[in-house]
Amino acid sequence: MQALLQLSRGIDALVRGIGKLLPYLVTIMIAAGFYNVVARYLGRFVGQRLTSNAIIEIQWYLFSVLFFLGFALILKENMNVRVDFLYSKWSAKRRALVDLLGHLFFLIPFCILGIVVTINPVLFSWGRLPNGSWGPWEMSSDADGLPRAPIKTMIIVAFVFLLLQAISQVIKELAVLTNQVPQQEAAALEEYHQQPVE
């Protein structure tokens, strides 16, 4: 179990590291939006086109990346909304059991299904043709738009990170249920499970 807990700590550290990047992506997204608005109005004033569809698409690409990468962090930090007045009253072990069953029978299969179903459309977007050869990337239908393949790939990346974090959560829940979690981590897990339920 200690080896599994070490794996869980590694996954948590990875997701925490990704979480630290998200504020920078928000800043870049806001800067792109600010530039786009200013350049559009300034361009009208001077009679020149100072922006393009690529800048607009960068904004929604960044928003999508924030959304996708946030999945695993939300699970790790227990920020998902629960509408359940019973869960908050249960003991840590009972909550861990409920979470374990939910992760094993719903979240992990959902992540695996999401990855499997998304692989072919993403490969097609990268230019993989039905006969196995490769063609051009899928591009935006807008003039000066960006390629679609990288942002579609983020769907798979999001499911992979969410799957990894679900595995980490399962390990921690098993540790709580089998009383094999170190005392300091047990306190942290108890605090995790005692967070307010909406």
Q: pLDDT tens across 11-36, in order? A: 999 999 999 999 999 999 999 999 99
Question: Which residues lie below 8 Å from residue 73, measured CB to CB, with a gap of 6+?
Answer: 15, 16, 18, 19, 22, 79, 165
Predicted TM-score (pTM) above 0.75: yes
Location of structure tokens 């006969």 = 131
Residue 43 has pLDDT above 90, yes or no: no
Residue 198's pLDDT band (boundaries 50, 70, 90)?
A: very low
pLDDT tens digits, residue range 106-163?
A: 999 999 999 999 999 999 999 988 888 888 888 888 888 889 999 999 999 999 999 9
Residue 197's pLDDT band (boundaries 50, 70, 90)?
A: very low
pLDDT tens digits, residue range 51-86?
A: 888 888 999 999 999 999 999 999 998 887 776 777
Q: How far apart are CA 171 and CA 90, in angstroms?
A: 20
Helix, strand, or coil here: 145?
coil
Q: How far apart are CA 158 and CA 178, in angstroms?
A: 30
Helix, strand, or coil here: 125?
helix
Q: How far apart are CA 112 and CA 163, in angstroms?
A: 7
Q: pLDDT: is 86 or 194 the higher one?
A: 86
Q: Which amino acid is at 27?
A: T
